[in-house]
Amino acid sequence: MRFGDDQMLRTHHHHKSLEQFTNIESIPFATINVHLIPHTHDDVGWLKTLDEYFYGSSNDIQNAQVQYVLDTVIVELEKDPSKHFIYVEVAFFIRWWREQTKEKQDSVRRLVASGQLEFINGGWCMNDEAAPYYEDIIDQMTLGHQFLKETFNVTVEIGWHIDPFGHSSTHASLFSQMGFNAFFFARIDYQDKDYRLDNKTMEMIWNPPQASGEEHSIFTSINYYHYEAPPSFCFDQNCNDQPIMDDPRLEEYNLDERAKTFVTYFKNMALHYRHADLLHTMGSDFQYSNAFKYFKNVDKLIKHINNHPEWGVNLFYSTPSNYIRTINRQSITYPVKTDDFWPYADGPHAYWTGYFVSRVAIKGIVKETGRFLQSVRTLFAFVQIQEKADYALELQEDMKKSILKLEEAMGVLQHHDAIAGTSKQAVAGDYMYIITKALKKVQNVNFFFLVRTF
C-alpha cells in the first residue's frame, strides 16, 4: 500500500521486462516501430493536496508542479509539429486553462485539432475501480468529457488507467459503453504479467460479462514497463539518469552507447508482442515540468537511431490513438478475457487489497453524497420546470453553481488515492474539506428552495 511518507512506496515489479535476452536476433520483424508516448501522471491528490500539486507548493514533500508541466509542454509542442503529448486529468487542466490568455487558448486549440495534444481518459480524475459506485464513476467521466467537448469539440476514445490498483471487468464494460476504442493500464498481478510476457498475451480483447457481446468488448493493452520511461532513460528534472551527450569531441560522449542500449531494450520488448509496433510510455508522476530538457534528450536518441536503419528500430513520438489506428490495419489474433484483474499483487505476499476497506469515513461520505447529489439534480429539474415562479428563477443560477461545485468535488473524490484511502493524512483531511464544503453549499441552497416551495 501507499500509506508511508516515502515516494518509493509506489513500487513497481517489472520482472521479465527487464531481463537481458540473448536471442534478440530471432525477432520475426525486420523493423520495429516504437510509438513513444510522452505523458505525465498527475494524481489529483496523494502525497500533497490538489492545490499543492497544481501550484508546486510544499515541494519538500514531493517536487511536483502541474501548472509548469502544462506551461512548458505547450511551448515545446508549439515549436515542433513532430512532438506529441497526452493529458488525462481535467481537474488540473481546467484550472490551468482558465488562467491562459485568449492567444494561448487558441494555440492550444490548434494543438488539439492537429493531434499533437491528445486528451486520454478525459475524466475529472483517474478514478479507482474498486471503491466508487458506478454512477459516481460515470458522473466524473461525464464532467471531464463535457468540458473537452464544449472547449475543443473532441470525443475521447481511449481509456488510460495506468495507476489504479487492479482493474474490474465492470470498468471495462463501462469504458466500452462510453465508446472507448481501447483500454490501457499498468498494474496487474506480477505472476499474471510474467505469464503474459512469456505467452505474448499482454494485449487482448476484453469481453466483460456485465455487457457481453462483440459490440461491448474493448481492446486492452498492459504496459510493458509500468508507465515509466525505459530504465536509465528518464530525462525529467527530478531524475538522475545521464543526459545524452552527443558531441564526440568531448570526453563524456555517450550517444552511441545510449542509443544501442535503447535499441536493445526495444528488441527485447518485441519478443513479447505479436506485431512490430510497440507502445512505450516516456514519463511518470508529475514529469515534464521542464519539458525542454526531456524532449531535447529524446530528440537526440530518435535522430541518431533513425539514422541507422540497419539497427532495425524506428522511433517517433506518438499517442495511444495513433498506435490503435496502426495495429487495427493489421490482421492480428488476440486472446479474449472476461473476468477481473484482481486481486493485485506486485510481489509475493504483497496484495494491494487493504484499500478496499481503508479510511471508511471517506468512503462513507462519498457514497452518501453521491446519492444526495442525484436527489438534488431531480429537485433542480423540478425548479427548472417552474418557469413562471419568480422564486424558482431566482434560485436556478445558485442551484446550478452549487451543484457544479459538488459534482467537481465528487469528481476529485473518485480519484484512486482519494476514495481508495491511500493518500497521506493531511491530504485525506483536505479531501474531506473539499467535499463537505461543496455539500454544505448545496444543502443551503436546497434549504431555501424547500422553504419557498412548501
DSSP state of 167: B
d(CA 20, CA 29): 19
172 three-class SS: helix
Q: Which of 170, 125, 172 is nearest to 147 (CA)?
A: 125
The grid coordinates listed for 92 are 488540473
Phi, psi (5° rounding) for residue 39? -155, 165
Instruction: Report which secondary-structure segment, H or E, holds 336.
Output: strand 336-337
DSSP for residue 317: E
Residue 198 known to be catalytic: no
Backbone angles phi, psi at 158, to 5 degrees: -125, 130
**Minimal CA–CA distance to 158: which of 138, 175, 135, 177?**
175
Q: What's the grid cell of residue 422?
A: 491511500
d(CA 118, CA 156): 9
Catalytic residue among 43, 139, 163, 417: 163
Q: What is the DSSP string of 380-429?
A: HHHHHH-TT-HHHHHHHHHHHHHHHHHHHHHHHHTBTTTTT--S-HHHHH
CB under 8 Å to 392, separation ≥6 — which residues?
383, 384, 386
- Asked whether the beta carbons of 316 and 35 are under 8 A apart, the reply is yes
Asked, as a colleague might, if the bond just before 335 is cis with ω within 30 of 0, I would say: no
**CA distances (Å), origin 321, targets 126, 156, 314:** 18, 10, 18
Closest by CA to 12, choosing from 278, 190, 272, is: 190
162 Ramachandran zone, left/alpha/beta (phi>0; psi -120 to 50): alpha
Residue of 49, 53, 3, 97 whose CA lies nearest to 287 = 53
Q: Can you tell me whether residue 10 is helix, strand or coil?
A: coil
DSSP letter for 189, please: -
Task: Name 316's bridge partners.
Answer: 35
CA–CA dist 312, 267 (Å, integer): 9
* Phi, then psi, of 350 in degrees rounded to 5: -125, 65
What are the residue numbers of the active site?
163
